[in-house]
Chain A
Protein backbone atom coordinates (compact mmCIF):
# COMPACT_ATOMS: atom_id res chain seq x y z
CA UNK A 1 0.00 0.00 0.00
CA UNK A 2 1.19 3.49 -0.79
CA UNK A 3 1.33 6.22 1.82
CA UNK A 4 -1.71 7.87 0.32
CA UNK A 5 -3.79 4.67 0.62
CA UNK A 6 -2.84 4.43 4.28
CA UNK A 7 -3.96 7.96 4.96
CA UNK A 8 -7.26 7.42 3.15
CA UNK A 9 -8.03 4.17 5.00
CA UNK A 10 -7.07 5.74 8.31
CA UNK A 11 -9.23 8.82 7.76
CA UNK A 12 -12.24 6.89 6.48
CA UNK A 13 -12.08 4.48 9.39
CA UNK A 14 -11.47 7.16 11.99
CA UNK A 15 -14.51 9.12 10.80
CA UNK A 16 -17.01 6.48 9.68
CA UNK A 17 -16.44 3.76 12.29
CA UNK A 18 -17.66 5.79 15.30
CA UNK A 19 -20.70 6.95 13.31
CA UNK A 20 -21.68 3.38 12.45
CA UNK A 21 -20.66 2.13 15.89
CA UNK A 22 -22.80 4.76 17.58
CA UNK A 23 -25.85 3.81 15.54
CA UNK A 24 -25.22 0.11 16.24
CA UNK A 25 -25.05 0.87 19.96
CA UNK A 26 -28.36 2.74 19.65
CA UNK A 27 -29.88 -0.23 17.82
CA UNK A 28 -28.65 -2.43 20.67
CA UNK A 29 -30.43 -0.29 23.27
CA UNK A 30 -33.57 -0.15 21.14
CA UNK A 31 -33.79 -3.88 20.46
CA UNK A 32 -33.02 -4.69 24.11
CA UNK A 33 -35.86 -2.39 25.19
CA UNK A 34 -38.27 -3.94 22.70
CA UNK A 35 -37.35 -7.43 23.91
CA UNK A 36 -38.31 -6.28 27.41
CA UNK A 37 -41.60 -4.78 26.20
CA UNK A 38 -40.42 -1.16 26.47
CA UNK A 39 -40.19 1.62 23.91
CA UNK A 40 -36.56 2.33 24.64
CA UNK A 41 -34.43 5.44 24.19
CA UNK A 42 -33.96 7.33 20.92
CA UNK A 43 -31.62 5.76 18.36
CA UNK A 44 -28.97 8.43 18.97
CA UNK A 45 -28.99 7.96 22.74
CA UNK A 46 -25.37 6.69 22.86
CA UNK A 47 -24.32 9.92 21.12
CA UNK A 48 -26.22 12.03 23.67
CA UNK A 49 -24.59 10.04 26.46
CA UNK A 50 -21.10 10.72 25.16
CA UNK A 51 -21.83 14.42 24.64
CA UNK A 52 -23.12 14.53 28.19
CA UNK A 53 -19.96 12.89 29.56
CA UNK A 54 -17.96 15.67 27.93
CA UNK A 55 -20.10 18.33 29.61
CA UNK A 56 -19.50 16.94 33.09
CA UNK A 57 -16.90 18.00 35.59
CA UNK A 58 -13.74 15.91 35.23
CA UNK A 59 -13.04 13.87 38.36
CA UNK A 60 -10.03 11.60 38.13
CA UNK A 61 -9.08 9.41 41.03
CA UNK A 62 -5.48 9.19 39.86
CA UNK A 63 -3.30 10.77 37.23
CA UNK A 64 -2.38 7.80 35.06
CA UNK A 65 -5.81 6.40 34.39
CA UNK A 66 -6.63 8.96 31.71
CA UNK A 67 -3.35 8.11 30.01
CA UNK A 68 -4.17 4.39 30.04
CA UNK A 69 -7.68 4.97 28.74
CA UNK A 70 -6.28 7.25 26.03
CA UNK A 71 -3.87 4.49 24.98
CA UNK A 72 -6.77 2.04 24.90
CA UNK A 73 -8.66 4.30 22.49
CA UNK A 74 -5.54 4.86 20.41
CA UNK A 75 -4.74 1.17 20.03
CA UNK A 76 -8.32 0.24 19.26
CA UNK A 77 -8.26 2.79 16.43
CA UNK A 78 -4.88 1.50 15.21
CA UNK A 79 -6.23 -2.07 15.25
CA UNK A 80 -9.14 -1.05 13.06
CA UNK A 81 -6.91 0.81 10.62
CA UNK A 82 -4.53 -2.16 10.35
CA UNK A 83 -7.45 -4.50 9.74
CA UNK A 84 -9.22 -2.43 7.12
CA UNK A 85 -5.91 -1.60 5.44
CA UNK A 86 -5.56 -5.35 4.87
CA UNK A 87 -2.53 -5.96 7.09
CA UNK A 88 -1.50 -9.09 8.95
CA UNK A 89 -4.35 -10.66 10.91
CA UNK A 90 -2.02 -11.73 13.71
CA UNK A 91 -0.76 -8.18 14.07
CA UNK A 92 -4.37 -7.01 14.30
CA UNK A 93 -5.14 -9.51 17.04
CA UNK A 94 -2.01 -8.62 19.02
CA UNK A 95 -2.67 -4.88 18.77
CA UNK A 96 -6.21 -5.48 19.94
CA UNK A 97 -4.83 -7.37 22.94
CA UNK A 98 -2.49 -4.49 23.67
CA UNK A 99 -5.44 -2.08 23.73
CA UNK A 100 -7.28 -4.46 26.01
CA UNK A 101 -4.25 -4.54 28.32
CA UNK A 102 -4.37 -0.76 28.66
CA UNK A 103 -8.03 -0.90 29.60
CA UNK A 104 -7.28 -3.50 32.27
CA UNK A 105 -4.37 -1.38 33.56
CA UNK A 106 -6.67 1.63 33.77
CA UNK A 107 -9.18 -0.36 35.78
CA UNK A 108 -6.45 -1.68 38.08
CA UNK A 109 -4.99 1.78 38.60
CA UNK A 110 -8.17 3.15 40.16
CA UNK A 111 -8.59 2.40 43.84
CA UNK A 112 -12.12 1.06 43.71
CA UNK A 113 -12.44 -2.64 44.62
CA UNK A 114 -15.26 -2.92 42.10
CA UNK A 115 -13.10 -1.90 39.18
CA UNK A 116 -10.24 -4.07 40.43
CA UNK A 117 -12.43 -7.16 40.54
CA UNK A 118 -13.75 -6.11 37.13
CA UNK A 119 -10.20 -5.93 35.81
CA UNK A 120 -9.46 -9.37 37.23
CA UNK A 121 -12.52 -10.80 35.52
CA UNK A 122 -11.63 -9.06 32.26
CA UNK A 123 -8.32 -10.92 32.37
CA UNK A 124 -10.19 -14.22 32.66
CA UNK A 125 -12.44 -13.17 29.78
CA UNK A 126 -9.35 -12.33 27.70
CA UNK A 127 -8.00 -15.80 28.48
CA UNK A 128 -11.27 -17.21 27.13
CA UNK A 129 -11.51 -15.29 23.85
CA UNK A 130 -7.84 -14.92 22.88
CA UNK A 131 -7.40 -18.61 21.93
CA UNK A 132 -10.58 -18.45 19.87
CA UNK A 133 -9.30 -15.42 17.94
CA UNK A 134 -5.92 -17.05 17.37
CA UNK A 135 -7.46 -20.30 16.16
CA UNK A 136 -9.62 -18.30 13.79
CA UNK A 137 -6.51 -16.66 12.32
CA UNK A 138 -4.83 -20.07 11.98
CA UNK A 139 -7.87 -21.56 10.23
CA UNK A 140 -8.02 -18.67 7.77
CA UNK A 141 -4.29 -19.12 7.15
CA UNK A 142 -4.63 -22.84 6.49
CA UNK A 143 -7.55 -22.23 4.16
CA UNK A 144 -6.07 -19.34 2.17
CA UNK A 145 -2.33 -19.67 2.67
CA UNK A 146 -1.84 -16.23 4.17
CA UNK A 147 -2.23 -14.27 7.38
CA UNK A 148 -2.55 -10.99 5.54
CA UNK A 149 -6.13 -9.72 5.47
CA UNK A 150 -5.89 -8.46 1.89
CA UNK A 151 -4.41 -11.78 0.67
CA UNK A 152 -7.14 -13.66 2.51
CA UNK A 153 -9.78 -11.58 0.76
CA UNK A 154 -8.23 -11.93 -2.73
CA UNK A 155 -7.21 -15.59 -2.36
CA UNK A 156 -10.47 -16.84 -3.88
CA UNK A 157 -10.63 -19.58 -1.24
CA UNK A 158 -13.45 -17.90 0.67
CA UNK A 159 -16.31 -18.27 1.40
CA UNK A 160 -15.74 -21.89 2.26
CA UNK A 161 -17.57 -24.47 4.33
CA UNK A 162 -14.13 -25.56 5.55
CA UNK A 163 -13.89 -22.69 8.07
CA UNK A 164 -17.40 -23.01 9.47
CA UNK A 165 -16.05 -24.31 12.80
CA UNK A 166 -13.79 -21.30 13.19
CA UNK A 167 -16.69 -19.02 12.27
CA UNK A 168 -19.02 -20.49 14.91
CA UNK A 169 -16.25 -20.32 17.49
CA UNK A 170 -15.62 -16.70 16.53
CA UNK A 171 -19.29 -15.78 16.98
CA UNK A 172 -19.18 -17.21 20.49
CA UNK A 173 -15.84 -15.48 21.10
CA UNK A 174 -17.53 -12.24 20.07
CA UNK A 175 -20.11 -12.65 22.83
CA UNK A 176 -17.25 -12.79 25.31
CA UNK A 177 -15.30 -9.98 23.67
CA UNK A 178 -18.29 -7.65 23.42
CA UNK A 179 -19.14 -8.42 27.06
CA UNK A 180 -22.64 -9.59 26.33
CA UNK A 181 -24.54 -11.56 28.92
CA UNK A 182 -23.80 -14.41 29.94
CA UNK A 183 -20.21 -13.15 29.67
CA UNK A 184 -20.64 -9.57 30.91
CA UNK A 185 -18.63 -10.30 34.04
CA UNK A 186 -16.23 -7.39 34.03
CA UNK A 187 -18.62 -4.57 33.26
CA UNK A 188 -22.07 -4.31 31.89
CA UNK A 189 -24.41 -1.75 30.44
CA UNK A 190 -27.33 -3.31 32.27
CA UNK A 191 -28.35 -1.59 35.48
CA UNK A 192 -27.55 -2.81 38.97
CA UNK A 193 -24.85 -5.40 38.81
CA UNK A 194 -22.88 -7.06 41.54
CA UNK A 195 -19.89 -4.91 40.54
CA UNK A 196 -21.82 -1.65 40.04
CA UNK A 197 -20.24 -0.57 36.72
CA UNK A 198 -17.34 -3.01 36.94
CA UNK A 199 -14.15 -1.77 35.33
CA UNK A 200 -15.60 1.67 34.64
CA UNK A 201 -16.79 2.33 38.20
CA UNK A 202 -14.20 5.02 38.83
CA UNK A 203 -14.39 6.63 35.40
CA UNK A 204 -16.55 9.60 34.65
CA UNK A 205 -16.68 12.55 32.30
CA UNK A 206 -14.33 12.53 29.32
CA UNK A 207 -12.61 9.31 30.45
CA UNK A 208 -15.88 7.45 30.24
CA UNK A 209 -16.60 9.09 26.89
CA UNK A 210 -13.29 7.74 25.56
CA UNK A 211 -14.19 4.20 26.68
CA UNK A 212 -17.59 4.46 25.04
CA UNK A 213 -16.11 5.69 21.74
CA UNK A 214 -13.50 2.90 21.86
CA UNK A 215 -16.36 0.40 22.05
CA UNK A 216 -17.87 1.89 18.90
CA UNK A 217 -14.58 1.53 17.05
CA UNK A 218 -13.99 -1.94 18.42
CA UNK A 219 -17.43 -3.24 17.47
CA UNK A 220 -17.02 -2.12 13.86
CA UNK A 221 -13.62 -3.82 13.64
CA UNK A 222 -14.98 -7.05 15.16
CA UNK A 223 -17.94 -7.06 12.79
CA UNK A 224 -15.46 -6.50 9.97
CA UNK A 225 -13.82 -9.75 11.05
CA UNK A 226 -17.20 -11.48 10.77
CA UNK A 227 -17.54 -10.21 7.20
CA UNK A 228 -13.99 -11.39 6.44
CA UNK A 229 -15.16 -15.01 6.62
CA UNK A 230 -17.16 -14.67 3.40
CA UNK A 231 -15.20 -11.87 1.71
CA UNK A 232 -13.80 -12.50 -1.76
CA UNK A 233 -13.31 -8.93 -2.93
CA UNK A 234 -16.48 -8.67 -5.03
CA UNK A 235 -19.12 -6.06 -4.20
CA UNK A 236 -21.81 -8.74 -3.86
CA UNK A 237 -19.89 -10.64 -1.17
CA UNK A 238 -19.00 -7.38 0.59
CA UNK A 239 -22.68 -6.49 0.85
CA UNK A 240 -23.52 -10.03 1.97
CA UNK A 241 -20.68 -9.75 4.49
CA UNK A 242 -22.16 -6.58 5.95
CA UNK A 243 -25.57 -8.28 6.15
CA UNK A 244 -23.98 -11.28 7.86
CA UNK A 245 -22.24 -8.97 10.33
CA UNK A 246 -25.52 -7.22 11.15
CA UNK A 247 -27.26 -10.58 11.65
CA UNK A 248 -24.48 -11.70 13.98
CA UNK A 249 -24.76 -8.42 15.90
CA UNK A 250 -28.52 -8.81 16.36
CA UNK A 251 -27.92 -12.40 17.44
CA UNK A 252 -25.50 -11.13 20.09
CA UNK A 253 -28.15 -8.70 21.35
CA UNK A 254 -30.67 -11.53 21.57
CA UNK A 255 -28.16 -13.67 23.47
CA UNK A 256 -27.43 -10.69 25.73
CA UNK A 257 -31.07 -10.37 26.72
CA UNK A 258 -31.81 -14.07 26.87
CA UNK A 259 -29.20 -15.25 29.34
CA UNK A 260 -28.30 -14.67 32.95
CA UNK A 261 -24.71 -14.00 33.81
CA UNK A 262 -22.28 -16.86 34.35
CA UNK A 263 -19.58 -17.10 36.97
CA UNK A 264 -16.12 -16.38 35.61
CA UNK A 265 -15.15 -20.03 36.07
CA UNK A 266 -17.94 -21.16 33.76
CA UNK A 267 -17.24 -18.37 31.31
CA UNK A 268 -13.58 -19.37 31.10
CA UNK A 269 -14.40 -23.06 30.76
CA UNK A 270 -17.02 -22.55 28.07
CA UNK A 271 -14.64 -20.28 26.16
CA UNK A 272 -11.97 -22.94 26.21
CA UNK A 273 -14.34 -25.77 25.37
CA UNK A 274 -15.62 -23.86 22.36
CA UNK A 275 -12.09 -22.99 21.25
CA UNK A 276 -10.91 -26.55 21.70
CA UNK A 277 -13.84 -28.33 20.12
CA UNK A 278 -14.75 -26.01 17.23
CA UNK A 279 -11.44 -24.27 16.67
CA UNK A 280 -9.04 -27.18 17.02
CA UNK A 281 -11.35 -29.55 15.12
CA UNK A 282 -11.48 -27.02 12.32
CA UNK A 283 -7.69 -26.75 12.27
CA UNK A 284 -7.42 -30.56 12.23
CA UNK A 285 -9.88 -30.83 9.36
CA UNK A 286 -7.97 -28.20 7.34
CA UNK A 287 -4.66 -29.92 8.05
CA UNK A 288 -5.62 -33.49 7.31
CA UNK A 289 -8.43 -33.38 4.74
Chain B
Protein backbone atom coordinates (compact mmCIF):
# COMPACT_ATOMS: atom_id res chain seq x y z
CA UNK B 1 0.00 0.00 0.00
CA UNK B 2 1.51 3.29 -1.08
CA UNK B 3 1.44 6.05 1.52
CA UNK B 4 0.66 8.54 -1.24
CA UNK B 5 -2.89 7.23 -1.28
CA UNK B 6 -3.22 7.78 2.47
CA UNK B 7 -2.38 11.45 2.28
CA UNK B 8 -3.24 12.83 -1.14
CA UNK B 9 -2.84 16.58 -1.19
CA UNK B 10 -4.90 18.45 -3.71
CA UNK B 11 -4.14 21.48 -5.81
CA UNK B 12 -7.33 23.07 -7.06
CA UNK B 13 -7.09 25.22 -10.17
CA UNK B 14 -9.95 27.11 -11.81
CA UNK B 15 -9.23 27.20 -15.56
CA UNK B 16 -12.29 28.96 -16.96
CA UNK B 17 -14.97 27.52 -14.82
CA UNK B 18 -18.25 29.37 -14.21
CA UNK B 19 -17.40 28.82 -10.49
CA UNK B 20 -20.21 26.27 -10.16
CA UNK B 21 -17.75 23.39 -9.98
CA UNK B 22 -15.39 25.35 -7.71
CA UNK B 23 -18.11 25.83 -5.13
CA UNK B 24 -18.73 22.09 -5.21
CA UNK B 25 -15.01 21.36 -4.79
CA UNK B 26 -14.93 23.60 -1.75
CA UNK B 27 -18.11 21.97 -0.45
CA UNK B 28 -16.10 18.75 -0.16
CA UNK B 29 -14.07 20.37 2.62
CA UNK B 30 -17.09 21.34 4.72
CA UNK B 31 -18.24 19.33 7.74
CA UNK B 32 -20.89 17.55 5.62
CA UNK B 33 -18.37 15.86 3.31
CA UNK B 34 -15.10 16.41 5.22
CA UNK B 35 -12.54 14.96 2.81
CA UNK B 36 -9.82 15.46 5.43
CA UNK B 37 -11.10 12.13 6.77
CA UNK B 38 -9.07 10.53 4.00
CA UNK B 39 -6.03 12.65 4.75
CA UNK B 40 -6.84 14.96 1.85
CA UNK B 41 -5.59 18.50 2.22
CA UNK B 42 -6.47 21.29 -0.15
CA UNK B 43 -3.08 22.91 -0.52
CA UNK B 44 -2.27 25.89 -2.68
CA UNK B 45 1.23 24.72 -3.43
CA UNK B 46 1.92 22.68 -6.61
CA UNK B 47 5.24 21.47 -5.20
CA UNK B 48 3.47 19.73 -2.35
CA UNK B 49 0.44 18.48 -4.26
CA UNK B 50 -0.32 14.97 -5.48
CA UNK B 51 -3.61 15.52 -7.27
CA UNK B 52 -4.37 18.39 -9.63
CA UNK B 53 -8.08 19.14 -9.59
CA UNK B 54 -9.02 21.32 -12.55
CA UNK B 55 -12.43 22.85 -13.12
CA UNK B 56 -13.50 24.55 -16.32
CA UNK B 57 -12.21 24.43 -19.87
CA UNK B 58 -8.72 25.58 -20.80
CA UNK B 59 -8.43 28.83 -22.70
CA UNK B 60 -5.68 30.53 -24.67
CA UNK B 61 -4.57 32.66 -21.76
CA UNK B 62 -4.19 30.02 -19.09
CA UNK B 63 -2.93 27.03 -21.03
CA UNK B 64 0.64 27.87 -20.02
CA UNK B 65 -0.39 28.27 -16.40
CA UNK B 66 -2.00 24.85 -16.44
CA UNK B 67 1.10 23.33 -18.03
CA UNK B 68 3.38 25.01 -15.54
CA UNK B 69 1.36 23.90 -12.54
CA UNK B 70 1.45 20.35 -13.87
CA UNK B 71 5.19 20.46 -14.41
CA UNK B 72 5.86 21.88 -10.95
CA UNK B 73 4.15 18.94 -9.25
CA UNK B 74 6.58 16.20 -8.23
CA UNK B 75 5.88 12.64 -9.42
CA UNK B 76 3.76 10.63 -8.83
CA UNK B 77 0.87 12.91 -9.75
CA UNK B 78 -2.67 12.57 -11.00
CA UNK B 79 -4.94 14.99 -12.85
CA UNK B 80 -8.67 14.97 -12.19
CA UNK B 81 -10.86 16.99 -14.56
CA UNK B 82 -13.94 18.14 -12.62
CA UNK B 83 -17.14 19.06 -14.44
CA UNK B 84 -18.10 18.64 -18.05
CA UNK B 85 -16.26 21.83 -19.02
CA UNK B 86 -12.96 20.37 -17.84
CA UNK B 87 -13.74 17.07 -19.54
CA UNK B 88 -14.61 18.38 -22.97
CA UNK B 89 -15.17 22.11 -22.95
CA UNK B 90 -18.88 21.68 -22.19
CA UNK B 91 -21.17 24.56 -23.06
CA UNK B 92 -18.16 26.77 -23.71
CA UNK B 93 -16.47 24.51 -26.22
CA UNK B 94 -17.37 26.66 -29.26
CA UNK B 95 -16.23 29.92 -27.73
CA UNK B 96 -13.46 31.66 -29.69
CA UNK B 97 -10.98 31.53 -26.81
CA UNK B 98 -11.60 27.98 -25.57
CA UNK B 99 -9.16 25.23 -26.51
CA UNK B 100 -11.36 22.45 -25.17
CA UNK B 101 -11.07 20.06 -22.23
CA UNK B 102 -8.06 19.93 -19.94
CA UNK B 103 -6.70 16.95 -21.89
CA UNK B 104 -5.86 19.25 -24.79
CA UNK B 105 -2.98 20.59 -22.69
CA UNK B 106 -1.98 18.00 -20.08
CA UNK B 107 -2.72 14.28 -19.64
CA UNK B 108 -5.88 13.68 -17.61
CA UNK B 109 -6.30 10.53 -15.51
CA UNK B 110 -9.86 10.82 -14.25
CA UNK B 111 -12.87 12.57 -15.78
CA UNK B 112 -15.66 13.64 -13.44
CA UNK B 113 -18.79 14.54 -15.43
CA UNK B 114 -21.65 16.73 -14.27
CA UNK B 115 -22.67 20.35 -14.48
CA UNK B 116 -21.90 21.16 -11.77
CA UNK B 117 -20.18 17.96 -10.64
CA UNK B 118 -21.70 17.00 -7.29
CA UNK B 119 -19.42 16.72 -4.25
CA UNK B 120 -20.15 12.98 -4.08
CA UNK B 121 -18.93 12.46 -7.62
CA UNK B 122 -15.90 14.69 -7.06
CA UNK B 123 -14.94 12.56 -4.05
CA UNK B 124 -15.56 9.45 -6.18
CA UNK B 125 -13.30 10.88 -8.87
CA UNK B 126 -10.55 11.60 -6.36
CA UNK B 127 -10.81 8.07 -4.97
CA UNK B 128 -10.48 6.73 -8.53
CA UNK B 129 -7.47 9.00 -8.87
CA UNK B 130 -6.00 7.37 -5.76
CA UNK B 131 -5.94 4.01 -7.55
CA UNK B 132 -4.03 5.60 -10.43
CA UNK B 133 -1.74 7.29 -7.94
CA UNK B 134 -0.99 3.97 -6.28
CA UNK B 135 -0.18 2.42 -9.65
CA UNK B 136 2.16 5.27 -10.53
CA UNK B 137 3.85 5.13 -7.12
CA UNK B 138 4.50 1.41 -7.51
CA UNK B 139 5.88 1.97 -10.99
CA UNK B 140 8.21 4.63 -9.63
CA UNK B 141 9.40 2.31 -6.89
CA UNK B 142 10.09 -0.44 -9.40
CA UNK B 143 11.97 1.91 -11.67
CA UNK B 144 14.15 2.86 -8.68
CA UNK B 145 15.03 -0.78 -7.98
Interface flag for B45 (CB, 8 Å): yes
Find chain B residues with CB under 8 A from A263 CB: none
SS class, residues of chain B in contact with chain A: mixed
A58 vs B47: C-alpha distance when bound (angstroms): 10
A179 lies within 8 A of chain B by Cβ? no
B62-82 to A contact mask, C-beta < 8 Å, 1/0: 000000000010111000000
With A36-B31, A49-B39, A55-B3 as given contacts, are A197 and B76 in contact (CB-CB < 8 Å)?
Answer: no
Whether the Cβ atoms of B39 and A42 lie closer than 8 Å is: yes
Supposing A37-B31, A191-B43 touch, asked if A57 and B140 sit within 8 A by C-beta, the answer is: yes
Chain A stretch 169-211: residues in CB contact (< 8 A) with chain B: 191-193, 196-197, 200-205, 208
In the complex, A40 Cα to B42 Cα: how many Å? Answer: 14
Q: Which residues on B sit within 8 Å (CB–CB) of A146?
A: none
Q: A33-B34, A41-B37 are in contact. Are A48 and B47 (CB under 8 A)?
A: no
Is B7 in contact with A56, judged by CB distance below 8 angstroms? Answer: no
Residues of A within 8 A of B2 (CB): 55
A204 and B50 alpha carbons, distance in the complex (Å): 11
Contact check, B140 vs A192: say whether CB atoms are below 8 A apart: no
Residues of B with C-beta under 8 A to A37: 31
Q: Which residue of A lies closest to B6 (CB)?
A: A48
Chain B residues near A29: list those with CB within 8 A. Answer: 36
Known A-B contacts A191-B42, A191-B43; A40 and B37 likewise in contact (beta carbons under 8 Å): yes
Q: Is the CB of B45 within 8 A of A196?
A: yes
Q: Which residues of the partner chain A approach B45 to less than 8 Å between Cβ atoms?
A: 196-197, 200-201
Contact of A197 among B3, B7, B43, B72 (CB under 8 A): B43
User: Which chain B residues (106-134) contact chain A, with CB distance < 8 Å?
Assistant: none
Closest A residue to B49 by beta carbon equals A204
Task: With both chains docked as a complex, state the minimum distance between the C-beta of A66 and any C-beta of chain B, in angstroms.
Answer: 14
The contact size tier of chain A is 20 to 34
- The 8 A CB mask of A29-43 against B (1 = contact, 0 = none) is 100010011111110
Report which of A52, A59, A191, A193 forms a contact with B3, defined as CB distance below 8 A: A52
> Known contacts A33-B36, A37-B31, A55-B137: does B3 contact A48 (CB below 8 Å)?
yes
- Would you give the shortest CB distance from B77 to chain A, in whole angstroms? 9
How many chain B residues touch A (CB < 8 A): the figure is 27
B47 and A191 contact, CB distance less than 8 A: no
A38 to B48, CA, bound (A): 24
Q: Does A51 contact B (CB under 8 A)?
A: yes
Kindly state whether residue B20 has any CB partner on chain A within 8 Å.
no
What 1/0 flags go to B10-51 for Cβ under 8 Å of A? Answer: 000000000000000000010100101111011111011010
Indicate the member of B34, B38, B137, B141 with the most A CB atoms within 10 Å.
B34
Whether the Cβ atoms of B36 and A40 lie closer than 8 Å is yes
- B47 close to A38 (CB less than 8 A): no
A238 within 8 A of B: no
- A101 an interface residue at 8 Å Cβ cutoff? no
Whether, in the assembled complex, B4 has its beta carbon less than 8 Å from a beta carbon of chain A, the answer is yes
Question: Given the complex of chains A and B, what is the CA–CA distance between A202 and B41 in angstroms?
Answer: 17
The 9 closest A-B pairs by CB, nearest first: A51-B3, A57-B74, A37-B31, A48-B6, A57-B75, A204-B47, A38-B34, A52-B3, A196-B44
Sample of 9 further A-B pairs with CB below 8 A, known A48-B6, A56-B50: A38-B37, A39-B34, A40-B36, A41-B38, A51-B7, A55-B140, A202-B47, A204-B74, A205-B74
Contact sample, A vs B, 18 pairs, CB 8 Å cutoff: A37-B31, A41-B36, A48-B7, A52-B3, A52-B7, A54-B3, A55-B4, A55-B76, A55-B137, A55-B141, A56-B4, A56-B75, A56-B76, A57-B74, A57-B75, A191-B29, A192-B44, A201-B45
